[in-house]
Every structure is written in structure tokens, then in C-alpha cells.
Amino acid sequence: MKHSASDHTLPFTDFDGFERGLLPVIRHFILSFTEPEKQAWQHAFTVATERWGRDQGLVLAQMVFKVIKATLYIRPRGLAFNDPFSVETRHELTCDEYALLRMLHHMRRDETPAARDALNELTGGYPDAHLIQAGLTLASQFPTNGAGPGQPARRPTLRVVP
């Protein structure tokens, strides 16, 4: 279900830079399920790697894909979303996009009651275990603790020093 300009939209100022950065990735994945011939999943991976680097971007895109896949399993009629290529609506959210980002926002902060409310809004009250697991996996990999604004927390890496 694609979002049209006449539908109600919400600004995304309630979210941090990392969560706002997820939006185009989310939109491309939803588009890839809605119109598979466009192969928008390729754009989702490209956007994620350009924003967060190859290592984190690929991991993050895969996790977002799992969240979207689980969400669409529960919502077979689809999600309302804005066109990922639209300049006019890039800073606006549909109600479904808002609920999805709100769920991830609260999961990343370990705010269980608020995350549960957002999950219920997104799924129509159906607490699917696969969606919860996918969301919590993303949240645990990219929590808000110790990260600069808009950046996922980084795990220490080993490097060979000559």
C-alpha cells in the first residue's frame, strides 16, 4: 500500500539521527516487497552502506530487512509509506512509518511499555514473536548508549598494526 500526498503525514523530529537515517532504508525495503520488479532492496543496501560504512551498513540493512519482512507477514495488505525517491515527503512520515520507527526508538532505549504500545499500533494488537525478535536484535546491535548523535554504538575492533 503506497502512501499518497493526500494522506496524513507526521514529521520525524521525534527521532534521533540514527533512526531518521533508517527511514530511506525502510522505505526501499517496503517498496521492494510492494513492487518487486523495481528491486529496491538494492537501493536499501546502498543507502545503508553509504551512511554507515560497509561493515555496519550491511549488517544494519539485513536487520532492517528482517523487521520489514516480519511486519509485512503480519500486515499482508502492506504498510503505508512515502516514496523513498520523493524530495517533498522525505521528512514526513505516514502513520505506519511513525509506528515502526517509534517501536525501534523505544526498543533501542529499553523502554518496554512504550515499545509494546508502538508494536500494538503497528500490528493492530498482534504481538508477533518474529517481529519482536527482529526489532530487539536491531536494538541490541545499535543501542543509544555511548553513541554520538545519529551514530550507532560501535563495538571495539581488532586491527593489525605494523
Distance (Å, whole) CA 155 – CA 126: 33
pLDDT at 144 over 90: no
What is the reported pTM?
Answer: 0.83
Distance (Å, whole) CA 69 – CA 61: 12
C-alpha cell at 60: 544494519
The residue-averaged pLDDT of 134-155 equals 70
pLDDT in tens, 72-114: 999 989 999 999 999 998 888 999 999 999 999 999 999 999 9
Distance (Å, whole) CA 94 – CA 62: 23
pLDDT in tens, 1-35: 454 443 455 667 789 999 999 999 999 999 999 99
What whole-number percentage of the chain has pLDDT above 70?
82
What whole-number percentage of the chain has pLDDT above 90?
73
